Structure 1
Amino acid sequence: MNRRLSLYRCLAGLAACAMLEVPQIAWAQSSGAYPTRPITLVVPYPPGGAADQFARTLGHALGERLGQTVIVENRPGANGNIGSAFVARRQAADGYTLLLGSTSTLTINPNLYADTGYDPAKDLQPITLTHQMANVLVVSTKTPYKRVADVIRAAKANPGHIDFGSAGYGNTMHLAGVLFQKQAGIKLVHVPYKGGAPALMDVLAGNIPMMFNNLPALVPLKNSDKVRLLAVADTKRSPALPNVPTFAEAGVPGVISVVWNGILVRRGTPHAIVDRLNREMGAILKSPSFRQPLEKQGYEVLSSTPAQFEALIKKDLAGMHKLTKEAGMKMN
């Protein structure tokens, strides 16, 4: 009888130990052991653009720090909505699928589309801001435009007859054009493309006269005989393009279009993993060896806490609501 009682007590003790082990194992899987397999970084734009290039550089550095491969996966479409919804609604909240978010996907699209397929505030957890880049007005050398004033003069002489390209309807490049028209008192014709790279190719070929594009995409072309860089939509000149004036210097104040980007995961990802990703990425983004080559290409490298990134999203959501409403922009 005593032996049987001892056996029951032993089994009960083992069961209790097993129950205690569950949260410990779960904690280890959610923090210390992470990551145990490759991580995917989703870029919701086509390959070859400025955001894609930055993501690949960051992904390589992050993989080295975490000891796991970081695979960059392009999921373009609907101005970034397709890739963003894929991470926000279809992937597990486990830190193994990251999203490169931007001003477009996190603050413009929710004000533009009736249904983006995701809610940035409810579905996505910010990790850190990574970089920002100004938009630049670039024109084909097949046009007679050598200064911003030339574009304004031609547009006033032929209102609604001069095209400008962008990466897509509602993209920041499009909104930069909307803002330029408003501040200059002109009317242009928007030609949306499926990405900034194909639009730029048409400017280089002379198929469209001009576009706004991210500064890093244009730095390699600063000495090109196919395009002219007329003005930077920022409050200051870029060190990467020191000879290109701001719009204020070119006579059109108020044309500011600076695009920020950052990394997010699905909301509900364990805090330990969010903190680990923020810590590792922060170390990368603050490293001179990482920053300096990118800054020469025209990127302004940033870092932040998750809370700071979240506050920026909320602030710019309200600001973009006003801008898109004033411009009468809406997508069904």
Structure 2
Amino acid sequence: MRRLHLLAPILAALALLGVSPAQSQVPPTIKLVVGYPPGGSSDTLARLLGQALQDSLKTTVIVDNRPGAGGRLAAAQFKRAPTDGSEIMIAPNALTTVQSLVYADKLGYSVLDDFVPVAKLASYPIALSVPGSSSIRTASDLSAWAKANPAQASYGSSGAGGMSHFAGLMFAKAAAIQWEHVPYKGGAPLINDLVGGHVGAGVDTVIDHIEHARAGKIRIVGIFSQKRYALAPEVPTLAEQGIKGLDIEGWFGAFVPAGTPPAVVARLDDAIGKVLADPAFKARLNKLVIEVSYLHSNDFRKLQAAELQAWAPVVRDSGFKPE
């Protein structure tokens, strides 16, 4: 009877939080769902985060790679995941923002209705680059080249309908140029053609471009940001070169399925926030040219809604229709 008396206030508090005693426990295994193959930035971040969460939560954390359709396959499956905190999707805004708009008529899920944002994890800028052998060094040089060589003016991206695709269109509009989009099947083949001088310019994450730029194989003309990136301060912004209004941030976030109790979301948010605040974890991410930029669940939800609203006219006005 004494034990029941002590448990009563605990059970009452859990009830007020909308979570059962079973849901208040950390699951014996947590899956970090990644909609991309091993080796990419999403996968690498998930593995670093998983190891840190495993240590802090004293549970087993594994990365579950489910590649296909640019992450959309994993997202569609994740909609039906358990709501006890045992599965967390790690996804970039290229998937949860841009692709959700581009493929709106083809998705079996809604990012706002079917997923709950737990925390924003990290961010990085988008880079506009040219071959290292090119004489182009500035945004003005690139604009002048495109205007003087309309038949050759083109840029590559890591895929049609992706963030880098639309970033290139936004640059063209701001710089008053016209150029052809050349979609690649990922960032690696785009880099190969940039290094080889087979495409005039390329737009993709600074994560994929910076090492090649520092080796002199490509040249980053600028990043789509209002301020220089702390992890690559040598790279100028397009804004400082007179190309205004192009502030595009790529980020990674953690999500759980809709229906997950608020207390479970709060518990995961708290655990992730503590991991991201650890200087050693930040240092490991910084080596990948990824910057910790934590937002807790409520602020992350506001950011996602604002981004969907901002990107909607960009996608609509592009006229792009997926096959």
TM-score range, shorter chain: 0.7 to 0.9
- Alignment of 1:28 onto 2:18: no
Q: For the structure 1 residues 49 and 185, does the alpha-carbon distance in structure 2 shift closer, same or farther, using more than 3 Å as the test?
A: farther
Q: 1:198 to 1:42 in 2, by over 3 A?
A: farther
Q: 2:89 matched to which residue of 1?
A: 99
The offset of 1:49, in angstroms, is 3.1
What does residue range 1-332 of structure 1 map to in structure 2 within 5 Å? 27-32=20-25, 34-37=26-29, 39-89=30-80, 91-113=81-103, 114-159=105-150, 161-331=152-322
4+ runs deviating over 6 angstroms: none
Q: CA deviation at 1:101?
A: 2.5
Superposed displacement of residue 321, structure 1: 0.9
1:44–1:316 CA distance, 2 compared to 1 (3 A): same
- The 2-side partners of 1:73 and 1:200 are apart by 27
Provide the rounded CA distance (Å) in 1 between the counterparts of 2:179 and 2:154: 6
Could you tell me whether the CA contact under 8 Å between 1:77 and 1:194 is conserved in 2?
no
User: Where does the alignment leave 5 or more consecutive residues of structure 1 unmatched?
Assistant: 1-19
**Rg larger for:** 1
Give the superposition deviation at 1:296: 5.0
Q: What secondary structure is seen at the aligned counterpart in 2 of 1:304?
A: strand
Contact residue 219 and residue 297 of structure 1 kept, 8 A: no
- 2:291 and 2:277 map into 1 onto residues whose CA distance is 12
Q: Is this contact kept in 2: 1:137–1:229, CA < 8 A?
A: yes
Check whether the contact 2:27–2:84 (CA below 8 A) recurs between aligned residues: no
**TM score, norm. by length of structure 2:** 0.87
Of the structure 1 ranges 255-264 and 209-218, higher mean CA displacement relative to structure 2 is found in: 209-218
Is contact 2:128-2:203 (8 Å) kept?
Answer: yes
Structure 1 SS opposite 2:150: coil
Structure 1 window deviating more from structure 2 (292-301 vs 255-264): it is: 292-301
How far apart, CA to CA, are the structure 2 residues paired with 1:107 and 1:286? 26
Pairwise CA distance, 1:227: 1.0
Shift of 1:199: 2.2
Root mean square deviation, CA, Å: 2.3
1:71 and 1:196 map into 2 onto residues whose CA distance is: 26
2:8 match: none
The 2-side partners of 1:201 and 1:35 are apart by: 43
Aligned to 1:16: none
CA contact (8 A) 2:93 2:253 kept: no
SS of equivalent residue, structure 1 residue 149: helix
